[in-house]
Structure 1
Amino acid sequence: MFRFTQLLSAILAVALLTTNFATALPNPDPTSLEARQALSACQPVHASFQCDFAQPPSSERSLAYDEAPPLAKRASVCNGDASLCNRLYSNVTYIGAHNSYAVGTLQGASAGKNQEQTVTTQLNDGIRLLQVQAHKSSNSTSGSSIDLCHSSCQLENGGTLESYLSKVKSWVDSNPNDVITILIVNADDQPATSFASAFQSTGLASKVYAPGSAALSKYSWPTLGSLIDSGKTVVVFIDNSADVSSVPYILPHFQNTWENPYDQTSTPFNCSIDRINQASSPSNLMYLINHYLDSSFNLFGTTVLIPNTAQITTTNSYNSIMSDANNCASLHGQTYPTFVLTDYYDQGNGSVFQAAAMMNRVQYTAKVIGNATKSGSSSNSSGSGSSSGAVSNQMSVTNAVLALTGLALASTLL
């Protein structure tokens, strides 16, 4: 009996010692510095921030910041590719439509038109940045009293902000696994609350991400997967008059993003920092490149700029965009732009999206884009110009002259 009691005591002592030893062991933390250093043994590649074991790191571009720690994601495909789900929002390149509401034919291009496809078609084709220019309405038919126009609503009125956002809301509801961005040029310095009225009345406000602060470092944005999982798949920026204390989801553009010069009329494109919040460090921000070419002419002593449609397939070609993006990356911390803003994105039959896929290191699948089968379009994504484009640009100048002359005459008569 005594020996049995001793044996039982020994067993209990060993069990207790084992338990204490296991408890004393540190619990591995996958987000610890040591763990991240171990994971970083494989180098980041291109724009993906992922360890690519199938091929050596790309020498074309190294990156300045890593992807977020792995999270338990519900979204399996994000913006068309599973590999993007764990990427930071700031670490994906998105193709944008410059003045996305200003829709007309390429042959009828003018100072008031920059796209050929409707906003719904733009989104279906792969546009993920919608840029708009907002003006105070002269007739106040909408709740927000905001119309979308390029420079002058008398020259070309793209409709109310409510009408535009309603179309966007319908698309967002039908595409819950895609994150899009809206960039508002607030031409008349209207208060953020006026824009909020349109977002609320259309229901789009419920889909917009509010980070809790006016600005985020490019290292601090959530992943696409987390945005999709939360149902907040729209990010909204405005170039001035943001007020996050009143409208927390309309963010100040230049505190989060810098831009290169716009309205460029010659190539190669200039990628110097042109617009940025003076208190911000460009190395901590996302950036947008204005990759569209204008033509300029003199009208009654005033320089007028219109889209250069004669060179549009060259401008929108894969080679042109990658040349611009690689130049920008070489100048700015070896990182690609988050946004690439384009005119008539459909010209080139998908070349703009092919370039984005390259920057994002995802597979590009060619498809029919917008008006690819219409007369005057080109399926040549290598970027050769055409005589039909030159004729189109001449017509654009004529249209602009007629429109502006009529506007000047009308103003004189008033």
Structure 2
Amino acid sequence: MMASLKRIIAGALCLILLSIGPVRCDKADAETIKTDDPDITMLTGTRSDATESSTDVPTGIYHTPSSRETDATTSLPTGRGHLTESDTEATSSETVTYITGSHASSSTTTSDKKTSSTTSTSTAPPQPTNTRPCNNYPELCDRKYGNVTQVGCHNSPFVRSGSAAANQQFPVVDQLNDGVRFLQAQIQWPVNGTVPHFCHTSCDLLDAGPITDWLRQVKDWVASHPYDVVTILLGNGNYSTPDKYAPYIEESGITKYAFTPGLGLMTVDDWPTLGQLILSGQRVIMFLDYMANQTAYPWLLDEFAYMWETPFDPVDDAFPCIVQRPPGLPQPDAKRRLYLMNHNLNAEVSLLGQSLLVPAVSRLNVTNAAQGPGSLGMAANNCRTDWGRAPNVLNVDYYNYGNYPGSVFEVAARMNNVSWTRRPCCGPDSSAAARMEVARAVAWMGLAWAVWMTV
């Protein structure tokens, strides 16, 4: 009787563990932005209409490719093969893991002594099911880059507590650790400066430092995450020619991983798969919005030759899914390109004598939500309906906010048609929360095992 009771208790403990799942360590299911939040500057006042809008679309600086590049990806592996680590090279500054892939085959040779003939046969073994995640999901390894939806950080470097000009709460390494794979940043030149910086409109307003520092952090992260493809969109705030930026980009070391497609236009279907990019080592896609010169710098892609954007710095919470840049792009051409959905709601304020659009932080719980009017989820669904395919980039401010922390990643999973499992998010504390979940799960299983063993 006692043994049966113990078995019942042990079984009940296991059922409790399975039913409650890991205990979440988020602050709340729906993180609410409070006016006394020390990490967010709340802006109050009446909106004023500026005589010159900062969202005016530049004209006359767009390049139209004259031909399509039909062999842009011929240097990449034709198949994914086996995504396996082959060896690791350690240096004083970084650790680089190299990936190799190949389709193995087996051969059999038989001989007939009577006829002095030899017959050889060759067979390819069944291909294994890949369980290695590419950009966090095994299903994406065989997915073309043009058929993947990524969460993007609008103005990724602009992280500063208490600054109304900031766009993100956590720095770039945390952004990448949390699952962001698209990073956008705006380059400016400080007054009398000789080194390009990441600055928000003006370096007097928010200066995130030299571009090399931020790019080096991204490069280090890429080097230590060999199964991830990261995209960087550089905003050319001064419309400088790329030779002014290239030496500093190259100094960071990130061009070692840069994808080089060749000249000409690749359509959305011409891009390689994530697995091909990973196996080739070309795991960083780098765009420049204006003044790109791919003849001189083939790794710095002309954004608007490959991609179009919905209205940037939006103030309309309906988020119309229409082409704003490049202006005048015919719909048939737009359907053949990647597209970026700007979903970062703004409010207009006056700072340091400038009219500036800054994140509407009081609306972030709605703007970054997975569903509902004005939400990221609804806007992405609307875009998919309008264009027949999902956006390639969901470009957001403060990705950690939403109807729950990290809800933007649920939207991306839906667009990619992959299973979404909610996990602790976001920032440096999320990894500690994940470890606590594992520890609690192990403790429950240990308790159940202990009771079972006493039977």
Taking structure 2 as the reference length, the TM-score comes to 0.62
Distance 2:276 2:354 in 1: 49
Aligned to 1:309: 361
**Paired AA for residue 211 in structure 1:** P
- 1:407 maps to which residue? none
Give 1:202 deviation, angstroms: 1.5
Distance 1:362 1:236, change over 3 A: same
The corresponding residue for 1:328 is 383
The gaps in structure 1 that reach 5 residues or longer are 1-68, 375-414
Distance across 2 between alignment mates of 1:96 and 1:311: 18
Gaps of 5+ in 2: 1-76, 84-131, 431-455
The question of whether the paired residues in 2 share the 8 Å contact of 1:295 and 1:308 is answered with: yes
Query: Residue 71 of structure 1 aligns with which residue?
Result: 79
* 1:81 alignment counterpart: 137
CA drift of 1:74 comes to: 2.6
- Per the TM alignment, residue 175 of structure 1 is displaced from its structure 2 partner at its CA by 0.5
Question: What residue identity is the alignment partner of 1:219?
Answer: D
Amino acid paired to 1:89: Y
How many Å apart are 1:364 and its aligned residue?
1.7
Name which of structure 1's ranges 159-168 and 269-278 shifts more when overlaid on structure 2. Answer: 269-278
2:233 matches 1:183? yes
Alignment partner, residue 284 of structure 1: 336
Instruction: Give the one of 412, 420, 424 matched to 1:364.
Output: 420
Match of 2:290 among 240, 253, 263: 240
**Secondary structure of the structure 2 residue equivalent to 1:359:** helix
Q: Following the alignment from structure 1 to structure 2, what is the Cα–Cα distance between the partners of residues 350 and 235?
A: 24
Aligned residue in 2 for 1:161: 211
CA contact (8 A) 1:237 1:250 kept: yes
> Is 1:94 aligned to 2:94, yes or no?
no
Q: Find the residue that maps to 1:124 and give its secondary structure.
A: helix
Is residue 315 of structure 2 the alignment partner of residue 261 of structure 1?
A: no
Q: Which residue of 1 aligns with 2:187?
A: 134
Structure number with the higher helix fraction is 1
For normalisation by structure 1, the TM-score amounts to 0.68
Measured in 1, the distance between the counterparts of 2:427 and 2:287 equals 29
Cα distance in 2 for partners of 1:270, 1:230 equals 37
Deviation, 1:138, is 3.3
Deviation at residue 140 of structure 1 after TM alignment: 3.9
- Which whole-Å CA distance do the structure 1 matches of 2:365 and 2:264 have between them? 38
Distance 2:317 2:171 in 1: 28
Quick check: 291-300 or 306-315, which moved more? 291-300
Task: Tell me the amino acid that sits aligned with residue 359 of structure 2.
Answer: P
> Equivalents in 1 of 2:251, 2:428: separation in Å?
35
Aligned to 2:272: 222
Contact 1:88 1:221 survives alignment (8 Å): yes
Listed one character per residue, the Cα deviations across residues 126-156 of structure 1 (whole Å, up to 9, x for unaligned) are: 1111000001243546xxx210001010111
Residue 77 of structure 1 contacts residue 177 of structure 1 at CA under 8 Å; is this kept in 2? yes
CA drift at 1:70 = 8.2
Separation (CA, whole Å) in 2 of partners of 1:89 and 1:261: 23
What's the counterpart of residue 125 of structure 1?
Answer: 178
Q: CA RMSD in A?
A: 2.3
Name the CA distance, whole Å, in 1 between partners of 2:254 and 2:350: 41
Number of the residue aligned with 1:350? 406
The residue identity in structure 2 corresponding to 1:323 is M
Whether the 8 Å contact between 1:95 and 1:342 is mirrored in structure 2 is: yes
Amino acid at match of 2:206: E
Whether the 8 Å contact between 1:214 and 1:251 is mirrored in structure 2 is no
Counterpart Cα distance in 2 of 1:77 and 1:128: 14
Structure 1 residues 187-202: aligned runs within 5 Å: 187-202=237-252
Superposed CA deviations along residues 324-375 of structure 1, whole A, max 9, x for unmatched, are: 011112222x11100010000011311000110111111222222225979x
- Could you say if the C-alpha distance between residues 267 and 306 of structure 1 is closer, same or farther in structure 2, counting changes exceeding 3 Å? same
Amino acid in structure 2 at the alignment position of 1:99: N
Amino acid at match of 1:306: V
Going from structure 1 to structure 2, the CA distance change for 1:299 and 1:248 (only over 3 Å counts) comes to: closer
DSSP 3-state at the match of 1:318: coil
Alignment match, 1:340: 394
What is the Cα deviation at residue 81 of structure 1? 1.3
C-alpha separation between the residues in 2 aligned to 1:286 and 1:369? Answer: 28
2:391 maps to a residue whose letter is: P
My pick for the range that moved more, 178-187 or 317-326, is 317-326
Partner of 2:92: none
Structure 2 CA distance for aligned equivalents of residues 190 and 230 of structure 1: 31
- What are the Cα deviations for residues 49-68 of structure 1, in whole angstroms up to 9, with x where unaligned? xxxxxxxxxxxxxxxxxxxx
Kindly tell me: are residues 202 and 225 of structure 1, through their superposed partners in 2, closer, same or farther at Cα, counting changes over 3 Å? same
Aligned residues: 300
Residue 192 of structure 1, CA deviation: 1.6
The whole-number CA distance in structure 1 between the counterparts of 2:155 and 2:303 is 16
Following superposition, the deviation at residue 72 of structure 1 comes to 4.2
* In structure 2, C-alpha distance between the alignment counterparts of 1:351 and 1:342, rounded to whole Å: 12
| Cα shift at 1:301 | 9.2
| SS of structure 1 residue aligned to 2:385 | helix
Would the aligned equivalents of 2:230 and 2:285 in 1 still touch at CA under 8 Å? yes
Q: Is the 8 A contact 2:158 2:167 kept in 1?
A: yes
CA distance in 2, matches of 1:214, 1:249: 13
Quote the residue 1:272 is aligned against: 322
Q: Deviations over 1:87-135 (max 9, x none)?
A: 1101000000010000023xx241x210000100000001111000001
Query: In 2, distance between residues paired with 1:328 and 1:177?
Result: 29
- Letter matched to residue 120 of structure 1: V
